Structure 1
Amino acid sequence: MRKSILIFACMLVFMGCSENPGPAACGVENPIENLPWLKNAVQEAQSWEFSEYSYLIQASYQGNTVFYFGSCCPFCNWAVIIRDCQGNQIENVDLGQLKDQQTIWKPKNSVCENI
């Protein structure tokens, strides 16, 4: 009986595991690689004069995935532009309503800490 329970428990564990846990955002596993507009935006960000100060955030806004570039540049003026999964700019976003923010890209030479 113990063997049966142990075998059943192991089967449940292995059946519950998946190498592909599902979409990470916007219906794709890797938004930076699989969303053409976002891939282009990251490539462009890598060529910015102060690229070492930039990073890309993925967040949730009103239940939808959004993206924005941030900056830790101490002497730069910049504006936050929030975009949806299709790359459309979202106007009048209350930044306090951005949930589950996570850095999904920063350049290899990044000087930004704690992001």
Structure 2
Amino acid sequence: MFTNLPYRFIMKGEKPFAFAGIWETWTKGKSPLHSCSILTTQPNGVTKSVHDRMPVILHEKDYDIWMDPGYDDISSLKELLVPYEKEEMDKYRVSTMVNSSRNDLAEMISPLNSL
């Protein structure tokens, strides 16, 4: 059902975006352990042919409340954990060069048909 081919997911107009993430510092042990995760949700119409989940993408208007450590309205935060609107996103195939961290070329994110 899913493809193993690499894709680049972008916002229409290639504007930047932010994922919903969480972090924690664990202090039990000899030295602190810093950890972080990107939260995922169900796929939208753009991502569902590639994977059965997608990162939660935040709307710019929600950045401040997501980043506010004192914000404690859990129910309103849960409302942000939904698929991003498919009409605002796009995707295209990219080179398999993205599969190796040894590669660091701008062409790696060029549409495959233009390589």
Global fold match (TM > 0.5)? no
Q: Which has the higher contact order (CA 8 A, sep 6+)?
A: 2
Range into which the TM-score falls when normalised by the shorter chain = under 0.3
Name the one with the larger helix percent: 1
> TM-score, normalized by length of structure 1?
0.23
Larger of the two Rg values belongs to structure: 1
